[in-house]
Structure 1
Amino acid sequence: MSARALLAVRDLRVLIGGRHILHGVGLEVAAHGVTALLGRNGAGKTTTVRGVLGLVPRSGSVLLDGEETVALPTHAVVRRGVGYAPEDRGIFAGLTVAENLRLAERRGAGDPDYPLVHELFPELKQRARQLAGTLSGGQQQMVAIGRTLLNANRLIIADEPTKGLAPKVVTEVAQVLERAAEAVPVLLVEQNLAVVRRLAEHCVVLADGRTAYRGPADELLGDAEAARRLLGVGHGPATEAPFVEADS
């Protein structure tokens, strides 16, 4: 990836409780489309995302559209146009769907794009008064992604958006991310390699808190030996192999 990246991470290091989690991660997110962040269990994917957002102590360089953000608090990073759908979805169970979305409205970011969110997720409009805690896992994921689409973000970070979802819902979520990526670049942490194959042009693979691969997604997934070595997938096409991980 060469043309100026929207997000450029250099030598990202994270130390938590005296333990080194990231040892100089480097990655880039293109100014368009989907970049996938992959790796085995405990490779450091979620920690990398949290490091980019400033949710954990970090050092190194995190350039957002050429602007250094590594010293900024999380709220300042978000205000610069970063939407985040966390792995645990971050839903407020005791609030309604409408209230969950309203909380995501960012002051000074223009009018929230409810028409887009409701077009992509008509169920959220139909269930606006329903408590979010009573939604299915797939519906809660719709809320999480919908929140990132409300504001005029420059980057969306989606951490395991299809994890634990039924195949039909996985397809729906992938379709939404595909459409969202037409307008906003996406950094996608994903365990389903078929989804990665469908959505991602570029990918980054982490191993033991370090960058092990950066390059075209189809090149990695088309190389069965490389996919086995870097991702731990079994025999057969990498796009069909299971890729199950715990929180990293």
Structure 2
Amino acid sequence: MMDKLKIGGVELQNRLFIGTGKFPNKKIIPDVIKSSGSKVITMALRRVDLNSKEENIIEYIPKDCILLPNTSGARNAEEAVRIARLARAMGCGNWVKIEVISDNKYLLPDNYETIKATEILAKEGFVVLPYMSPDLMAAKSLVDAGAAAVMPLGAPIGTNRGLQTKELIRIMIDEIDLPTIVDAGIGKPSHAAEAMEMGAAAVLVNTAIATAGDPVKMAQAFSLGVKAGRLAYLGKFGPERKYAEASSPLTGFLNE
């Protein structure tokens, strides 16, 4: 039986989502997507230029992928809603990643404004994936608002520092009856594997792949890390012990 993730009525076999920002050359993006195996690709709407094929990021994303436009640049719910509506009107589909950020230093999302935007857009038929600071009560409010998944940050965006918010994410995974997708801060395939081992439904990675020495190889490494972490979670870990326990009997040596 295939282990599939279902979001917005769509079944996904690959649990690695990737972004399209920060690449030194857009022409490498198709190879990165192919290497990653990802079928959900996020992009900032401001990078969609319908008047220039070469500059239009959509031109580099395979047609069989799900576009996940994000509301990067929005500072409040009103701006996020406007960007989401523009994305759908431009043919980007009805999936949207809500980003509402007014903090210019750490780029932390505004959970309150994110909840407001999620409620408005969910009622309009969008498949809403809100990017959020990990907080159980905020996550529950997003569920009530109609989110299709919740996307807590692992560390401040672009830092590659890994799961700095691990315990808060663990609580969300345990308590929220929606897919939890770890987004932002994941810097290594081992970080992605760790998130999946915890029970995360998926991870979204951009900076760690885009700024790697070889983005294509790094995308494959992240894909393998996600798969390994998911398999480990499904396999269920053995118990941790305080003291050593031999894996073979300690009796029966030399005719004992």
How does the TM-score come out when normalised to structure 1?
0.40
Hey, which of these two has a bigger chunk of helix by percent? 2
Larger RCO: Structure 1 or Structure 2 (Cα < 8 Å, ≥ 6 residues apart)? 1
The structure whose Rg is larger is 2
Hey, which of these two has a bigger chunk of strand by percent? 1
